[in-house]
Structure 1
């Protein structure tokens, strides 16, 4: 990539991207063709086309790619991240199927995982904590905090990582970002000005620098997280509590839903696998 400019995507608006060069200069970039597969966090090879503008020649090889998909298309979320932080809240109640789907996508890309339970100062935290109990039992780390009061407990988990923040609308994710990065609102306004706000309103993700070693990518709220790109074997393998029982069912093609002598169903009956987690697997794998 020595014969061209190299930049990192820090914001995505439709087919328009902002790429940050090593010297801190920001270029507004567009792909050469109609199809675009650029993600926030990507490293690009760019040719300058004018003042503050460039065209994307190539996407550098990625270390990870977080995306969701259905039978017809895929939605790229972020590239080259090392950690997925899923934000849920005590109020409004969160969708545990969405949580399970996000976890599966993170496992597929071998990302570190942290679940943040926001609004922990509210009385409803007791119910939310109980809803997350099956996750803590199988080894997921859940960090409770109130973004409006103190986000300091989250800082050690961000250090040294390129983290991507996801969550459904209403979980307080924006409050969390603004508390972590006080300049985030100003940065958003600046990005909108550069891209002529109103023309490019579909924002896929935005990258913020926490310090020289740590970055945070914020994504719009998600209500659905398709996993059409993951096959059945990947789904069952990425339910951590299933792993001790895989290969022990009577039938090699066991769906873990109704078959006799299913090791997964037996483990659930014995209380070794949470029944709600099993139901989530059956919902996701049957979709």
Structure 2
């Protein structure tokens, strides 16, 4: 009987996966059947189909996915696309310049709340002082409701980020131009070389640059990079689930005049009253309306 061994998926391309074993070795694997729900970060059980030799690396078949601690979906354009599993922290990378999309930020924070993940906002390019001041003002409502905001200049120093990664499997997301790649390369100088090794192992060339990859930072910390992913899909969430992701709305829940209030312009809307009383940031309510309208 062929031995079943356990490992973690560190990269994927189509139905090909690279699985890292407990001893640090990596095995290229396939799944059975045409459809696969395996994603980067999954803990899996595999069965070897070919032993390592001087000419070939070991190969295997994924037989089972272990229960997941968390699961993230790609944004609505790819509604059924799963992108990462077993994440414990979402890091949203913003920049002082160019201006960031706070709608994408809000969506990421809702996804974090839904999966019970820690959330960290990183404001990059803070050496651009005037732009940083404006960005800092936009993030003030997020600090006020308890979100952590770390300010840095990735081209100069990312050392203050390292302690916040300890013990976590963090996923980094951000719009183009925010400096996410700069942060990854500063934290993981060997990341580009690792990507080339993954491409070679999966025989997939440059295409792996558009797929999630997991990098080991140390024995207790990992990072998943999801190239091209700016926000996470929320289509699987109900109206109430999205509402819960706006954490400052919690104390007003159930206080609207109508039980099915959509928090638009209904009379007696507790959230609208809270905005008028400056207890809730008006922009946050606007973002909620935009997300639930889609």
Match of 1:119 in 2: 125
Greater mean deviation of Cα atoms: 98-107 or 47-56: 47-56
**Which of 97, 107, 116 is the aligned partner of 1:110?**
116
**Does residue 261 of structure 2 align to residue 254 of structure 1?**
yes
- CA offset digits 1:171-207 (Å, max 9, x no partner): 1111101100111111111112222243744632111
Give runs of aligned pairs for residues 26-37 of structure 1, distance below 5 A: 26-37=26-37
**Which of 132, 142, 149 is the aligned partner of 1:135?**
142
Separation of aligned partners in 1, 2:241 and 2:213: 29
Separation of aligned partners in 1, 2:134 and 2:160: 22
Greater mean deviation of Cα atoms: 130-139 or 276-285: 130-139
Matched-pair contact (CA < 8 Å) for 1:78–1:205: yes
- CA offset digits 1:231-279 (Å, max 9, x no partner): 0011111111101100000000000001101100000111111111000
Alignment TM-score, normalising by the size of structure 1: 0.95
Give runs of aligned pairs for residues 255-270 of structure 1, distance below 5 A: 255-270=262-277
Q: What is the RMSD of the two structures over their aligned residues, measured on CA atoms?
A: 1.7
Separation of aligned partners in 1, 2:26 and 2:78: 34
Separation of aligned partners in 1, 2:112 and 2:188: 24
Give runs of aligned pairs for residues 165-244 of structure 1, distance below 5 A: 165-198=172-205, 200-201=207-208, 203-223=210-230, 225-244=232-251
Aligned to 2:121, the other structure's residue is in SS state strand
**Does residue 121 of structure 2 align to residue 100 of structure 1?**
no
Separation of aligned partners in 1, 2:98 and 2:204: 31
Aligned to 1:150, the other structure's residue is in SS state coil
Match of 1:8 in 2: 8
Matched-pair contact (CA < 8 Å) for 2:173–2:226: yes
Alignment TM-score, normalising by the size of structure 2: 0.93
Separation of aligned partners in 1, 2:112 and 2:118: 7
- What residue ranges of structure 1 are gaps of 5+ in the alignment? none
Q: 1:125 to 1:69 in 2, by over 3 A?
A: closer
- What residue ranges of structure 2 are gaps of 5+ in the alignment? 53-57
Number of positions where the alignment pairs a residue of Structure 1 with one of Structure 2: 286
Separation of aligned partners in 2, 1:75 and 1:24: 28
Matched-pair contact (CA < 8 Å) for 1:12–1:203: no
Matched-pair contact (CA < 8 Å) for 2:96–2:128: yes
